[in-house]
Chain A
Amino acid sequence: MTAIPQERRVVTAIPGPKSVELQARRLAAVAAGVGSTLPVFTARAGGGIIEDVDGNRLIDFGSGIAVTSVGASAEAVVRRASAQLANFTHTCFMVTPYEGYVEVCEQLAELTPGDHAKKSALFNSGAEAVENAVKIARAYTRRTAVVVFDHGYHGRTNLTMGMTAKNMPYKQGFGPFAPEVHRVPVAYGYRWPTGAENAGCRGVRAGHRRDHQADRRGQRRRDRHRAGARRGRLHRAYQGLPPGDRAVREGQRHRVRRGRDPVRLLPYRPVVRLRGRGHRPGPDHHRQGHRRMVCRCPP
């Protein structure tokens, strides 16, 4: 299946001298925001082994983040992709289509669960697929809001970044985020206060958040504080008031809510009551990093 011997072999320090050299070039040429778990440069990979430029063979427990399930140089993949490369590399399916696209969609219909009629569309990345899943769901349901599970990762594009739970490294400083994303606490059995078998039950949501998400809540509070301070400055500027005016600041929230958004110069959407359990946050809340399903700020 692969020419690379399936054995672990460490012949230099990790990373080795050639990798260190390449890492220096990388630091000079590649943007710092793109990280690597381990700066060991790959020469070839296959089966369960990654061989680096220094001749070390690492056991691969990463699969390029769960991508190369069939190994990084599976015979059938290499054979079919090579043949395709020799025929043509690109036409754009939207310009002149080709059989491979159709065949992949047929295979997906056969392999995915359910015996109902299925169709597929192919995209460049997971994030792009998630973006399109939201577009399709919106077109089908004619509803705009998206509910995501807490702790989930969805991608790094603007919408999927907003859907992703973790702030660092995915979101910090990259806002504003797409609106209409609501996060529900679920899918973390180990840290569910009443045990994994009760994960998702409604009664303990508040406690769950309080106990286990303090760090993220703190981050959001800091984000909100910054957004609020900025809004306050803008609001005072809008009214022609001096910066830091205490009386204005105290009354500000009320007046700003009734008035117009000084940033966007649009009327605020009125607060909507939701079955007496608080109210649904308007779009301005999202801009402040406010993501509760049911808002707790004063009505």
Chain B
Amino acid sequence: MTGRAEIMDAAHAGGLGGTYGGNPVACAGALGAIETMRELDLNGKAKRIEEVMKGRLAEMRAKLPNGDIIGDIRGRGAMIAIELVKSGTKDPNPEAAGALAKACHAEGVMVLTCGTYGNVLRFLPPLVIGEDLLNEGLDVIEQAFGTL
């Protein structure tokens, strides 16, 4: 947890902490992750993933016969989601989200569902994913719409 020094120092000495928090192995791993993010410019990579995913998903919405069940495409960087609705409405469609996730899983693509109404399919690829693999995953999602 990071914040302004004067705010972070508000708690009295001994008021924060825990036996295991910031354990040395986790800290070493975190420093390794930061090193990797700098080395591979993963911030830039996240922006590229957003561009590819949002482009492909918008294309699916326009092109697929049942594309209008994609009510919303949103997210930032490599954290992208589609909200699924019943055709022609904004009524949540959790059944479609579940069915699409199942179809993707069967074809070897790990996707997660979420949302207050359980009707959101979210995509959180690692930033190091190759663009070919990213597109292949999106192909599988596209095909999954055909199974609905």
Q: Chain A: residues with CB nearer than 8 A to chain B?
A: 1, 6-10, 13-14, 37-38, 40, 47-50, 56-63, 65-66, 68-72, 74-81, 83-85, 87-94, 98, 100-101, 103-105, 107-109, 111-112, 114, 116-124, 128-129, 132-133, 135-137, 139-140, 151, 165-166, 189-191, 213, 215-216
Contacts and interface: CB of A to CB of B under 8 A. Distances in A.
Given A50-B110, A94-B17, A103-B31, A60 B128 contact: no
Interface string B20-49: 111111111111111111011010000000
Interface string B76-101: 00110001000000100000000001
Contacts of A94: 17-19
A104 B8 contact: no
Contact of A66 (B37, B39, B124, B129): B124
A89 B20 CA distance: 10
B90 A70 contact: no
For chain B, give the interface size range: 35 or more
Given A59-B137, A118-B3, A69 B105 contact: no
B148 interface: no
A1 B71 CA distance: 38
Contacts of A90: 20, 23-25
Interface of B: 1-12, 15-37, 39-40, 42, 71-72, 74, 78-79, 83, 90, 101, 104-113, 116-117, 123-130, 132-134, 136-137, 140
Nearest to A153: B114
B108 A70 contact: no
A121 B16 contact: yes
A121 to B, nearest CB: 5
A93 to B, nearest CB: 5
A140 B5 CA distance: 11
A99 to B, nearest CB: 9
A109 B125 CA distance: 26
B128 A123 contact: no
Contact of A74 (B28, B33, B107, B133): B33
Nearest to A133: B1
Contacts of B7: 136-137, 140
Contact of B34 (A58, A111, A121, A129): A111
Given A48-B129, A63-B124, A8 B18 contact: no
A71 B28 contact: no
Nearest to A140: B10
Given A8-B136, A74-B36, A139-B10, A104 B27 contact: yes
A216 B116 contact: yes
